[in-house]
């Protein structure tokens, strides 16, 4: 199945779930909520919810991507991020989306493109 939103056919569905990421730099692991996008029962993309300004430093992109791919092999992996410029006040920051590449690098992606992938 292709990852291009323009050609994903079939009955599309979004569901919530979670992943657990081991955080070697800190104690224990962290659970992140995710949204899965599927067509005819096959997940093709996963969006990791942002940690928020209170969570501090985000986990390594490679660790996040690995946790997703361990559960859903071959999917595109996205992360919702925030500018976090106003500390703990969620009304004062803007969100944006990145795609997690195989190297763990976070690559900017157009909001409209992400929206198209996660539209039921």
Chain segment 88-119, per-residue pLDDT in tens = 555 666 778 899 999 989 999 988 888 888 88
- What is the band of 5 on the pLDDT scale with cuts at 50, 70, 90? very low
- At residue 118, the pLDDT reads 87
Continuous segment of H or E residues that includes residue 117: helix 111-117
Nearest Cα to Cα of residue 33 among 16, 21, 45: 16
The mean per-residue pLDDT over the stretch 47-76 comes to 81
| Residue with the larger pLDDT of the pair 28 and 73 | 73
Residue 39 pLDDT > 80: yes
Query: SS3 string of 35-93?
Result: EEEEECCEEEEEEECCCCHHHCCCCCHHHHHHHHHHHCCCCEEEEEEECCCCCCCHHHC
Confidence (pTM): 0.79
- At residue 120, the pLDDT reads 72
């Amino acid at each position: 199945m292709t990852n291009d939103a323009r050609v994903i056919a079939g009955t599309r569905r979004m569901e919530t779930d979670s992943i657990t990421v081991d955080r070697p730099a800190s104690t224990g692991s962290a659970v992140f909520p995710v949204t899965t996008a599927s067509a005819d029962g096959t997940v093709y993309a996963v969006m990791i919810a942002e940690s928020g300004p209170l969570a501090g430093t985000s986990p390594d992109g490679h660790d996040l991507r690995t946790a997703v791919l361990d559960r859903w092999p071959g999917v595109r992996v996205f992360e919702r991020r925030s500018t976090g410029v106003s500390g703990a006040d969620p009304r004062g920051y803007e969100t944006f989306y990145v795609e997690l590449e195989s190297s763990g690098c976070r690559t900017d992606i157009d909001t409209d493109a992400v929206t198209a992938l996660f539209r039921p």
